[in-house]
Structure 1
Amino acid sequence: MPSPSRPTGERRPRAMVIDHAWRGLGPGLESLSGPGGAPLTRTVKLIVLPLIVRPTLRPELAADFLGPVQAACLDGLIRESGTRLAVTAQWFTLLKKARRALGVVAGNPQDLYFQRCFELATEHGAPPAGADADAIARNVVEDVADTTGGRTVEALKDYLADLVQGTRIDGELATAWDSRTTATAADAVAVVALAGEALEACGTPDRARNAPQYASLVEAGHGSLFGRALWAHAGGVWGRDDVPAHLGLTVRQVPPRPEVGRGASTATLPAPLDRTLYERLFVVLQSSARREELPTVPELVARETGRSCAPLGLRDESLRVAVVLGGRLAVGLDPLGTGGGVPERTAAHRAVNSRWRHEASVLRARRMTVSPSPDPDGGVLDALAQDLRTPWAAYMRRLWVRLHGRDVRDAPLGDLAEAWSLLDGVARSVMMDHRARVRSALRTLSTAPARAAGTRSA
């Protein structure tokens, strides 16, 4: 892999530049890294990007793909922070030890302590010897526990488990659900057509920034209109018969009435519009790096009660419109180049599909789909190829989760350029996730013969 400091004239994924620079820092970062030596996702999200790269101050480093000069700059920033990152890892190990000693179990330690450890590394350097370091770590753990203000999964579970509270909330959900109004399939088709016009304006950031279509969709309440049509079991709204109108946001024909719920697991979460109140807020609390910025648990529950019964499960109209735009984009995604999808693709489709079709994992999947011979890998890669035949499912689920997080934090989308940045970012995220799963499958398949040979020789 060429060094980012040697310009090649080609743009490179920012994630790849970060990974390359991180691996060059050497030992001492184990608590901030995964088993393969790459930085943890939370390390990038909570430390590298906001505290080292600081894209708001360096907007040229905010893009997902960087030119040679920008890649070299990013590489240099990370390498210059190597010592501080190693000290951050030391503090994190110390804080986890203090957390265990204090019996603290609420929250994810990475979410709670990563940024505080970087601050400790900046302020104190390496942890001092003896009791001083233990005292500092203990104080930080206790301070973080206070600032969360009870905004934890455990507090949510206790709140909803209360019989009086649970009964009251269930009644409020029933009332809100019964008061809904619906719209027709014709209404939804009209909204989708307008969404296509907006996506055509996403050919360049400048065009998207000055395009009026997004504001018009929001002002006219078209996101709400589309959501109400889904409640009426509208069909055929996307211009193709092989995808459901809700695009996998529910496994039902229409979204069910939300229930209160009592438990959740990240491994078995239902489709977004099928989740209970508990499951919706469980995801929010699990993924929040700064819980002190969230409302208290009773307020979170009160807001989510209304939100879960609103069109598309969202309250802000700009975010509902983003769901429609995302859906219009998703049904035209065609990584394999089979020619399926909506008849008229927009500039947004052409940009995303072109990027996907150059992926090595996609090229292999394409060969598999046209090969008359059985999958030689026992179906492992065929299953991953199947994901590319229905890319709209993974795309829409990831998009909804991001929009829901913005809704909880009262963070609407200001214009089409901001909406397109989010929509395109979700497409890149799905693509990168698929690439990682293909690589993992290939590694597993390549080691299987070696393990088998070792077993025979033994």
Structure 2
Amino acid sequence: MPPQSRPTGERRPRAMVIDRAWRGLGPGLEPLSGPGGAPLTRTVKLIVLPLVVRPVLRPELAADFLDPEDAAHLETLIRGSGERLDATARWFTLLKKTRRALGIVAGNPQDLYFQRCFELATEHGAPSAGAEAVARAALEEVADAAGGRTVETLKDHLADAARRSRLDAEIATVWGNRRPSPAGAASVALAAEVLEACGAPGPGKDPQAFTSMVEGAHGSLLGRALWAHAGGVWGRDDLPGHLGLTAHQLPPRPEVGRSASTATLPAPLDRTLFERLFTVLQSSAHRDELPMVPELVRREVGRSCAPLGLYDESLRVAVVLGGRLAVGLDPLGGGGESAPGRTAAHRAVNGRWQREASVLRARRMTVSPRPDPEGGVLDALAEDLRTPWAAYMRRLWVRLHGRDVRDAPLDDLASAWAVLDGVARSVMMDHRARVRSALRALSAPGPGQASEARSA
């Protein structure tokens, strides 16, 4: 059994250790924290882990569960960085204020400035005399580093009518040259072997199974099967072959597009060129690895018409593996660990999800026949639990697309499993947060109840 899946005993979840140590730092960290006082996800991802904990240098702190000694070490590191983190929060507030004054709107400020603010805190301490000039210089430096790779640049590039017409004609030509194929079920069958090796590597497992799928172009086979409307490829007739990657029976021909909204993005294979690149350019984590916008757009024409909307075969295979994993997700445990078709990967992911003790009660509520008499948020959460594969596949595709745009293939079984498992954890944590938020809202007294409580 992998170390991450063993009973914890005295071991503590690393996320819990970070949360407790962060809250112990006291006030002043609000710009880096959520409403409840916990560090933002981006704070953990961009600041705490890479810059404070530094698990690359301290591999004993890289695990999801920590022994008491390692947990104490982690808390010490965070407490020892309290003053620097406080200064980081102040720099972030100043950079956002300066950003507004300069009229900068492109990019997510947290993605763009969190790590730069930590560097400023390390170099200068908290902002003091002359800090405004330093903040302005930092903003200009970040803008220069992202030059030619912003959403605004993309808008300007696709605003030209002649260019849009030319791109649309290119898409039509490439799309018309596709080669649909009904073959796809064999690729899904092979995925079970790889997932068995992913979830429980060791004697008798074949780490070459992933390489064999890539060399056999099994990702492309599934992508072409979706163009031909192949059904039943996942072993369940109640699931569409595309697993929600499109809202249509067959993926539609891509359009060029001119705008996008995070709140209304369509299913991955239904997105325009603009929407596909919008999600990549919004995050600056790997911006310096991207081509300039004209080259990005040129490449995306072919990619949008490729099997599964991806160029690299290892990433297409990851979609097959993710689909095979997704159709066996069982957050409530109703299917049983020995259900037909389950692999070691399923047992690892489902076991982790089913151990979410803090939300077990909420889950029971969401699957009652009518959890919310008026309909609403609990009904939506219940539907998420009934179809966990939908959120998983959407998030997996976005992550793989980002790698494809950056020319970052998956080199081996270990890197593939890291992505598949990471997406599963992300979906689980997102659902946990939504359940807790819903329960807090439902338990809050209404206006009438509040008045009664005050008068009592």
TM-score by length of 1: 0.91
Whole-angstrom distance in 2 between the partners of 1:66 and 1:377: 42
1:423 aligned onto 2:420: yes
Which residue is equivalent to 1:383? Answer: 380
Whole-angstrom distance in 1 between the partners of 2:234 and 2:105: 46
Which residue is equivalent to 1:353? Answer: 350
Residue type of the partner of 2:126?
A
Offset of residue 426 of structure 1: 1.1
CA contact (8 A) 2:362 2:439 kept: no
1:99 aligned onto 2:99: yes
Whole-angstrom distance in 1 between the partners of 2:184 and 2:80: 53
Give the counterpart of 1:225 among 210, 215, 221. Answer: 221
Residue type of the partner of 2:275?
E
SS at match of 1:127: coil
Residue type of the partner of 1:149?
G
Whole-angstrom distance in 2 between the partners of 1:438 and 1:366: 8
Residue type of the partner of 2:92?
F
Offset of residue 276 of structure 1: 0.7
Offset of residue 291 of structure 1: 2.1
1:137 aligned onto 2:135: yes
- Structure 1 regions of 5+ residues with no counterpart? 1-7
SS at match of 1:270: coil
**Cα distance 1:183–1:365, how it changes in 2: closer, same or farther (>3 A)?**
farther
Offset of residue 234 of structure 1: 0.3
1:445 aligned onto 2:438: no
Offset of residue 391 of structure 1: 0.8
Offset of residue 44 of structure 1: 1.6
Which residue is equivalent to 1:168? Answer: 166
Deviations, residues 415-438 of structure 1 (Å, cap 9, x unaligned): 112211211111111111111111
Offset of residue 269 of structure 1: 0.7
1:328-343 equivalence runs, <5 A: 328-339=324-335, 343=340
Residue type of the partner of 2:55?
P
1:2-401 equivalence runs, <5 A: 9-129=9-129, 132-184=130-182, 187-206=183-202, 211-339=207-335, 343-360=340-357, 363-364=360-361, 367-368=364-365, 371=368, 374-375=370-371, 378-379=374-375, 380-401=377-398
Residue type of the partner of 1:52?
V
Offset of residue 52 of structure 1: 1.3
Give the counterpart of 1:435 among 422, 432, 439. Answer: 432
**Cα distance 1:410–1:342, how it changes in 2: closer, same or farther (>3 A)?**
farther
Offset of residue 79 of structure 1: 1.3
Which residue is equivalent to 1:3? Answer: none
Deviations, residues 69-119 of structure 1 (Å, cap 9, x unaligned): 333222222111111011111112222222233232222222221111111
CA contact (8 A) 1:91 1:121 kept: yes
Offset of residue 156 of structure 1: 0.5
Bigger mean CA deviation after superposition, 198-207 or 314-323 = 198-207
Offset of residue 371 of structure 1: 4.9
Q: Percent of counterpart pairs with the same letter?
A: 76
**Cα distance 1:147–1:83, how it changes in 2: closer, same or farther (>3 A)?**
same
CA contact (8 A) 1:191 1:222 kept: yes
Deviations, residues 236-277 of structure 1 (Å, cap 9, x unaligned): 111111111000111101111111111111111111111111
Number of residues of Structure 1 aligned to a counterpart in Structure 2: 445
**Cα distance 1:253–1:376, how it changes in 2: closer, same or farther (>3 A)?**
closer
Whole-angstrom distance in 2 between the partners of 1:113 and 1:366: 37
Which residue is equivalent to 1:4? Answer: none
Alpha-carbon RMSD: 2.2
**Cα distance 1:159–1:96, how it changes in 2: closer, same or farther (>3 A)?**
same
CA contact (8 A) 1:250 1:273 kept: yes
**Cα distance 1:99–1:368, how it changes in 2: closer, same or farther (>3 A)?**
closer
Whole-angstrom distance in 1 between the partners of 2:204 and 2:322: 15
CA contact (8 A) 1:352 1:424 kept: yes
- Structure 2 regions of 5+ residues with no counterpart? 1-7
**Cα distance 1:99–1:371, how it changes in 2: closer, same or farther (>3 A)?**
closer
CA contact (8 A) 1:251 1:274 kept: yes
Whole-angstrom distance in 1 between the partners of 2:223 and 2:41: 33
**Cα distance 1:148–1:61, how it changes in 2: closer, same or farther (>3 A)?**
same
Whole-angstrom distance in 1 between the partners of 2:224 and 2:111: 36
Bigger mean CA deviation after superposition, 86-95 or 56-65 = 56-65
CA contact (8 A) 1:336 1:362 kept: no
Residue type of the partner of 1:94?
L
Deviations, residues 183-229 of structure 1 (Å, cap 9, x unaligned): 11xx2111111001111112334569961100000011111111111
Whole-angstrom distance in 2 between the partners of 1:252 and 1:361: 37
Bigger mean CA deviation after superposition, 105-114 or 20-29 = 105-114
1:407 aligned onto 2:404: yes
SS at match of 1:448: coil
Offset of residue 147 of structure 1: 1.6
Whole-angstrom distance in 2 between the partners of 1:19 and 1:345: 34
CA contact (8 A) 1:336 1:365 kept: no
SS at match of 2:445: helix
SS at match of 1:146: helix
**Cα distance 1:71–1:209, how it changes in 2: closer, same or farther (>3 A)?**
farther
CA contact (8 A) 1:196 1:328 kept: yes
SS at match of 1:240: coil
TM-score by length of 2: 0.92
SS at match of 1:335: coil
CA contact (8 A) 1:14 1:71 kept: yes
